[in-house]
Amino acid sequence: MLLLIQYTLVFASVLLLVALGGCFAEHSGVINLGLEGIMVLGALGGALMMRYVPATVPGIVMVLAVLLGAIAFGVLYSCLLGVASINFKADQTLVGTAMNLLGTAAATVFVKAINTASNPDDVSSVIQYIEPKKAFLVNIGGFEFNWFMLIAVIALAVAYVTLYKTKFGLRLMACGEHPQAADSVGINVYKMRWAGVLISGIYGGLGGICYILAGVSEWKFENGVAGFGFLALAVMIFGQWKPTRIALAALLFGLFRALSNVYSGFSFLAALNIPSTVYNMMPYIVSLLVLALTSKNSRAPKAEGIPYDKGQR
């Protein structure tokens, strides 16, 4: 049971971070379907830090370096969405889809090039981080606490306060609801939408490195992040674009994802003789069912996905 709670919190942390990133982007009026690609690039940035920062540095230095690497790569990659959808008014769905395809491919090529440069016989897309990973883990009475659990809680509090208690957040949401009205009172819609996209890059990058640290001590980048970006979008929609509801949805989906890791430890589940692949599919099956049953009552920001035209009223 302790292991189930541990994995639930880790996977919920991933989903929460990425879903909050999507929440900021959509509240600004931009649909960020490229969260999957941003996660992969964020994971790459963090993994490179774990590879090149000496493992002998203090744990807090390693943690900060990895977080900054993930954020930097996530933000830089999200700029593609900003330029294409805000500056050039491209179709946001197509841009996000292209970013997902490009993200995994680019990370794979990049890692293979690095491995080949250090060892011509190594053509793998794997980065190992056995020792650096220990900086993120604290064993508390058999429970393996991951610092990303705390980071996710802090990120949730920051998102809630920013969106509902600050002038910036209220302006951001105004741009996602009625950008023309926001512009009429002096709010720069383009800047607000850029801010939403870049913030989604921060959260998405953190979610990516959190995901690859959740399990093994190395990551094969050609595997991507197994659809967690899309699962986070389902969490965001189920949470009605509200941070607190998103947190609850993340816990629910995280629980189903955790079951695929620990189901063999529960005798009543093991006795059912259900193939492990079924447990692996459960989060995605649940997401389909939840969206089918709740999408009718969903209330997305009214102007999301609509390129802003300053001359339109």
CA-based radius of gyration for the chain: 20
What ranges in the chain are assigned the alpha helix state H? 2-28, 35-52, 59-82, 92-118, 130-133, 147-165, 167-177, 179-184, 189-213, 228-238, 243-262, 267-270, 276-294
The residue written with tokens 């500056």 in the block is: 87
- Type of residue at 61: V
Structure tokens at 30: 């931009």
- Determine the Cα–Cα distance for residues 169 and 159; give it in Å rounded to an integer: 9
pTM: predicted TM-score of the whole model, two decimal places: 0.95
pLDDT at res. 50: 94
pLDDT at res. 267: 55
pLDDT at res. 312: 67
pLDDT at res. 229: 95
Tell how far CA 177 is from the center of its chain. 24
Tell how far CA 183 is from the center of its chain. 30
Instruction: List, for residues 176-230, the tens digit of each pLDDT value.
Output: 999 999 999 999 999 999 999 999 999 999 999 999 998 778 899 999 998 999 9
Within the chain, which residues score under 50 in pLDDT?
none
pLDDT at res. 265: 56
Residue 245: partners with Cβ closer than 8 Å, 6 or more residues away: 238, 239
Contact between residue 7 and residue 146 where contact means Cβ atoms under 8 Å apart? no
- State the burial class of residue 225 (Cβ atoms within 10 Å of its Cβ: 0-12, 13-18, 19+): buried
Contact between residue 236 and residue 22 where contact means Cβ atoms under 8 Å apart? yes
Q: How many CB atoms lie within 10 A of CB 264?
A: 10
Structure tokens at 296: 């009718």
Domain spans in the chain, listed from the N-terminal domain onward = 2-227
CA angle 11, 194, 107 (to 5 degrees): 50
CA distances in angstroms from 159 to 53, 66, 170, 296, listed in the order given:
30, 21, 12, 26
